[in-house]
């Protein structure tokens, strides 16, 4: 019983921490969802330890804690993948911005001496 | 007809001055755009003094990034035709007009190094890799292409628009990937034999291990490009 209370407190604190980060705007919603899922799952397992051995026997894992480890690893991998996807997206955006900045700078620098160009026109894409 | 020469340059101070002078001498009527890809040397100043328009990328994006910036510039300033030329002087500016002339019958015209002109030779695994790439892409384009990794490429308005949609900055993205996607979205390709010269500065990389890695990476890039969903026409 004491163990359950101990771990319950930790998980609840973690969840509260995530919510506080969300509220202060330091953590974006899209990243918080996976973490919240992790927190809630932990809470369920802590509150009902039987659930673990029951689900372990359901999928045919002899030692229940192995199910826990496997799930933990999968979730962490999912979060890593999500972060990689985000970084790739950011990289593309940074690249677009760099190109944009370069083109704008060239337009400012060459704004004079090139009368054949229609300076006011920037084609929207 | 508005034409633009795009020269991507990353720390090419040693070569770019001569290259630009030669281009000016060969085709004085065509605008030259140097895309300074985050150089830390005097590349940009030299290009500016040589009378080129200079795009300053705030940091190094790689050839693909530099080229797309160039094509974006071409799109916005309403150019009809573009040709990309290497800053290191390995593309002979005398051939620029011939490669551009290839656009009369196609959307993309590749200045190709393997036909009889010139004496460019790649050996061993690298040559096999290039041969294999060429064979597969030729099949796709339904025309015989011998040098698909050539950076000496011209494109018309259709090609410029397509490049702006898809021109990856990753390894080989500027050659294989962008070319395959262009073909898959229905652009017509042709090739013009050109002479290839020795680089003015820098050493060409060639050792068996590097060639093997090249083969592997180019195949991965090719496979990805063949299966990617083409970006829709806007």
Interface of B with A (CB under 8 A): 35, 53-59, 61, 65, 68-69, 72-73, 75-78, 164, 169, 234
CB atoms within 10 A of CB B219: 15
**Interface A-B: count of C-beta contacts within 8 A:** 48
Pick the residue from chain B with its C-alpha nearest to A125.
B234
Domain that holds residue A15: 2-109
Report whether B95 contacts B19 (CB < 8 A).
no
Domain residues of chain B, as ranges? 3-227
Q: Count structural domains, chain A.
A: 1
Report whether B69 contacts B57 (CB < 8 A).
yes
Q: What is the pLDDT of residue A75?
A: 87
Find tokens 């200079």 and name the residue.
Answer: B54
Residues of chain A neighbouring B58 (CB-CB closer than 8 A): 98, 101-102
Task: Note whether residue A68 is domain-resident.
Answer: yes
DSSP output for A40-56? HHHHHHHH-THHHHHHH
Task: Note whether residue A99 is domain-resident.
Answer: yes
Nearest to A68 by CA among A56, A80, A81: A56
* Residue A51 buriedness (CB in 10 A; 0-12 / 13-18 / 19+): middle
Report whether B199 contacts B89 (CB < 8 A).
yes
Fold held by B3-227: Spore Coat Polysaccharide Biosynthesis Protein SpsA; Chain A (3.90.550)
pLDDT in tens, B147-182: 888 889 999 999 999 999 888 888 787 888 899 999
Instruction: Please give the average per-residue pLDDT across A30-44, as a whole number.
Output: 84
Task: Note whether residue A115 is domain-resident.
Answer: no
Task: Note whether residue A28 is domain-resident.
Answer: yes
Task: Note whether residue A7 is domain-resident.
Answer: yes
Q: What is the pLDDT of residue B9?
A: 93
Task: Note whether residue A61 is domain-resident.
Answer: yes
**Whole-complex ipTM:** 0.78
Task: Note whether residue A51 is domain-resident.
Answer: yes
- Adjacent-strand bridge partners of B54: B34
Task: Note whether residue A122 is domain-resident.
Answer: no
Q: What is the pLDDT of residue B198?
A: 65
Segments of chain B with pLDDT less than 70: 114-124, 198-206, 231-234
- The pTM assigned to this predicted structure is 0.79
Say whether pLDDT at A76 is over 80: yes
């Amino acid at each position: 019983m004491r163990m359950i209370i101990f771990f319950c407190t930790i998980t609840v604190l973690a969840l509260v921490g995530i919510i506080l980060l969300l509220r202060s705007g330091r953590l974006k919603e899209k990243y918080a969802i996976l973490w919240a899922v992790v927190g809630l799952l932990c809470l369920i397992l802590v509150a009902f330890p039987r659930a673990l051995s029951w689900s372990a026997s359901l999928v045919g894992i002899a030692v229940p804690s192995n199910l826990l480890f496997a799930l933990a690893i999968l979730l962490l991998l999912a979060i890593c993948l999500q972060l990689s996807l985000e970084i790739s997206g950011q990289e593309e955006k940074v690249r677009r911005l760099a190109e944009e900045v370069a083109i704008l700078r060239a337009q400012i620098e060459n704004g004079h001496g090139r009368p054949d160009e229609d300076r006011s026109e920037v084609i929207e894409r | 007809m508005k034409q633009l020469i795009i020269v991507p340059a990353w720390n090419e101070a040693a070569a770019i001055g001569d290259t630009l002078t030669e281009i000016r001498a060969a085709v004085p009527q065509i605008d030259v755009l140097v895309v300074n890809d985050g150089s830390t040397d005097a590349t940009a100043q030299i290009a500016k003094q040589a009378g080129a328009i200079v795009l300053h990328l705030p940091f190094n994006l790689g050839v693909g990034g530099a080229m797309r910036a160039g094509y974006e510039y071409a799109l916005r300033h309403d150019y009809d035709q573009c040709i990309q030329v290497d800053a290191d002087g390995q593309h002979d500016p005398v051939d620029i007009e011939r490669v551009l002339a290839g656009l009369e019958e196609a959307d993309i015209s590749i200045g190709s190094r393997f036909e009889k002109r010139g004496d460019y030779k790649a050996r061993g695994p690298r040559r096999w890799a290039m041969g294999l790439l060429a064979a597969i892409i030729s099949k796709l384009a339904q025309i015989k292409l011998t040098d698909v990794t050539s950076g000496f490429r011209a494109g018309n308005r259709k090609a410029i628009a397509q490049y702006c949609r898809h021109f990856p900055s990753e390894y080989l993205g500027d050659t294989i990937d962008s070319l395959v996607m262009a073909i898959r979205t229905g652009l017509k390709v042709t090739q013009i034999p050109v002479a290839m010269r020795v680089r003015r500065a820098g050493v060409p990389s060639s050792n068996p291990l590097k060639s093997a890695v090249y083969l592997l990476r180019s195949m991965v890039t090719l496979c990805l490009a063949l299966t990617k969903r083409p970006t829709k026409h806007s």
